[in-house]
Amino acid sequence: MQNTLEKSKGTSQSLWVRFLKNHGSILFFAVLFLLSSLFVPNFFTPRNVMTVIKQAAVPLVACMGLMLILTTGGIDLSLGYTLGLCSVLLGMMTKRYGIAAWQAIPLTLLIGAAVGLVNGSIVQFLHVPAFIATLGSGYVLYGIAQIFGKGDAFYQLPEDLLAFGTSRPLMIFAGGVPEEAMKNGLIGQILKLPSYVFIALIVAAIMYVVRHKTTYGRNLSVFGFNAKTARLSGVRTARLNVATYVISSTLVALASVLLTIRVNCAQSNLGGSNYTFEIVTAAVVGGTSLAGGVSSVVNCLFGVLVTKTLENIVNLMAVNIYLYQPLMGVVILIAIVLDAWKNRKL
């Protein structure tokens, strides 16, 4: 047993196996992409591929946040409701009170941060297990969102707000591109990508640095693996834990802004528990350990792509749209089982 242990964790392992173990979601995505390109009609077209990317952008932002919390060994079950609350408040601010977007968006992010502060404090200082704390706070947030929104939705949001997410920054390069390519070609589709995709990519890039290239990111892993060692090694664990919830919920608020813009509708029912679950699935498929300590931005990116590709396939094949949710459940189940298998047997 000792022998196999040394072997599996040591350097004697082939690069291949290690790559697969560390980046399973990339392989998962590659296989999925290949198979759907071959067998699903209309999947492998520039337009559709860009659709998948556009659909993946917003969940990616939220997933970056949840990834951080999962790394501490906690979870945020209130994620979807935070998203709904931020959406409805953003809608109110811009639509009902006419606040300009450049003020409303930072305010929304602040609200997200406040939610995170409350969640984190409950977990850290009141010692309530994260899943119970966020399960409870999720209901509270949902209630608050509904009170504010009175169940209504705000449609046709102001132009300045929409511009934040839907402008097409790459169009300045569109000069010499022929019209035909512009319409259907890959180049045209890329040039036409809206700004929220780029915002998501920028967030992912920043989070990559934060997660993998800062002392915060490192301490996050240490804390997730072993909170006692972390504290005895001089990590300010309480601050770290609360800060993580704050950062995460701020990112969720950003995701909320982007989603609200994307669907051009602000309402409290945006998000919800299904959304939470989708993000958890993406993170887990992206190799994030539910026991804490292990997570990677790149893997999470592919985790999100896997979930969104699956959703896209369900759409394209015109099977029952309700198949999506159980399918997600099965996917996460497979990811969990594979993870357990990997940790014990491989």
Partner 1 sequence: MAEKPILEMRGITKYIFDSYGVAIRNSTVRILDKVDFDLNRGEVHILVGENGAGKSTLMKVLGGLIPPDEGEVLLDGKVIRPKNAKEALEAGIGFIHQELNLCGNLSVSDNIFMGREIVRRGVKDKSAMRAKSAQLLDEMGVTNIPPETLVKDLSTAQQQIVEIAKVLSYDCRIIIMDEPTSSLTQREIDILFALIDKLRAQGVSIIYISHRLEEFERVGDRLSVLRDGQSIGTLERRDFDVDTIVAMMVGRTLGAMYENRHVPGHEPVLEVRNLRLEEKTAPISMHINAGEIVGMGGLVGAGRTELAKSVFGYRKCFGGEVFYQGRQLKTLNPADLIRHGIVYLTEDRKSEGLVLDMDVAQNISLASLFRMFPRFFMFGGKERELAEKTVSQLNVVCNSLSQLVRTLSGGNQQKIILGKCLATNPRLLILDEPTRGIDVGAKAEIYRMIDQIAESGVAVMMISSDMPELIGMSDRIYVMRGGAIVAEIQDKADMTQENILAYTIGKNA
Partner 2 sequence: MRLSKRQSSIVTAAAVIAVFLIGGAFVPNFLKPANFLNVIRQCSIIAICAVGVTQVIVIQGIDLSVGGNVTFCGMLAGLLLGRGVPVPAAILCALVCGVVIGLISGSLYAYLEVPAFVATLVVGQITQGLAYLFNNGRSFGGFPKSYVFLGNGSFLGIPISDYIMIVFVAAGIFVTTMLPIGTRIYGLGGNEQVLKNVGIDTAKIKLFVFAASGFCAASAGVLLAAQLDTAHPTQGEPYQLDAIAACIIGGVSMSGGEGKVIMSMVGALIIGSIRNILNLLAVHSFYQNILVGVIIIAVVAVSMFSRLRSESKTAQFTVVENGGGR
CA distance 336 to 340: 6
| Candidate list 145, 200, 284, 294; residue touching partner 1; CB under 8 A | 294
**155 — phi, psi (to 5°)?**
-100, 170
Phi, psi torsion values for 154, nearest 5 degrees: -105, 115
Cα(141)–Cα(81) distance, rounded to whole angstroms?
6
**346 touches which of partner 2, partner 1, none (CB within 5 to 8 A by kind)?**
none
Stretch that binds partner 1, among 6-14, 83-91, 182-190, 276-284 (CB under 8 A): 6-14
**Of 133, 246, 301, 310, the one binding partner 2 by CB under 8 A:** 133
Measure the CA–CA gap between 129 and 122, rounded to whole angstroms.
9
Q: Which does 9 bind (CB under 5 to 8 A by kind): partner 1, partner 2, none?
A: partner 1
Q: Which range, of 13-21, 98-106, 160-168, 319-327, touches partner 2 by CB under 8 A?
A: 319-327
Distance between CA atoms of 52 and 308, rounded to whole angstroms? 6
* Residue type at 332 in one-letter notation: I
Q: CB–CB of 242/74 below 8 Å? A: no
Residue 266, SS3? strand
Burial 203-220 (b: 16+ CB within 10 A, else e): bbeebbebbeeeeebebb
Judged by beta carbon distances under 5 to 8 A according to partner kind, the member of partner 2, partner 1, none in contact with residue 206 is none
Give me the 24-53 binding string for partner 2, x by CB under 8 A, dash otherwise: ------------------------------
Q: Which residues in 147-176 contact partner 2 (CB under 8 A)?
A: 147
Read off the DSSP letter of residue 172.
Answer: G
Instruction: Choose which of 219, 260, 296, 312 interacts with partner 1 (CB under 8 A).
Output: 219
Residue selected from 96, 129, 178, 218 as contacting partner 1 according to rule CB under 8 A: 218
User: What CA–CA distance (Å, rounded) separates 278 from 294?
Assistant: 19
Q: Is 226 in the site for partner 1 (CB under 8 A)?
A: yes
Q: Shortest distance, CB of residue 285 to partner 2, whole angstroms?
A: 12
Q: Which stretch binds partner 2 (CB under 8 A): 127-135, 176-184, 193-201, 217-225?
A: 127-135
d(CA 158, CA 69): 33
* DSSP letter for each residue of 304-344: HHHHHHHHHHHHHTT--GGGHHHHHHHHHHHHHHHHHHHHH
**274 near partner 2, judged by CB under 8 A:** yes
Site size with partner 1, rule: CB under 8 A: 31
Can you tell me the distance from the alpha carbon of 250 to that of 79, in angstroms, rounded to the nearest whole number? 11
Partner in contact with 207, chosen from partner 2, partner 1, none, beta carbon below 5 to 8 Å by kind: none
Residues 6+ apart with CB under 8 A from 135: 77, 78
Pick 34 or 291: Cβ nearer partner 2: 291
Binding site for partner 2 (CB under 8 A): 75, 77, 122, 126-129, 131-133, 135-140, 142-144, 146-147, 273-274, 277, 280, 290-291, 320, 322-330, 332-333, 336-337, 340
Binding site for partner 1 (CB under 8 A): 1-3, 5-6, 9-11, 209, 213-219, 221-222, 225-226, 228-236, 293-294
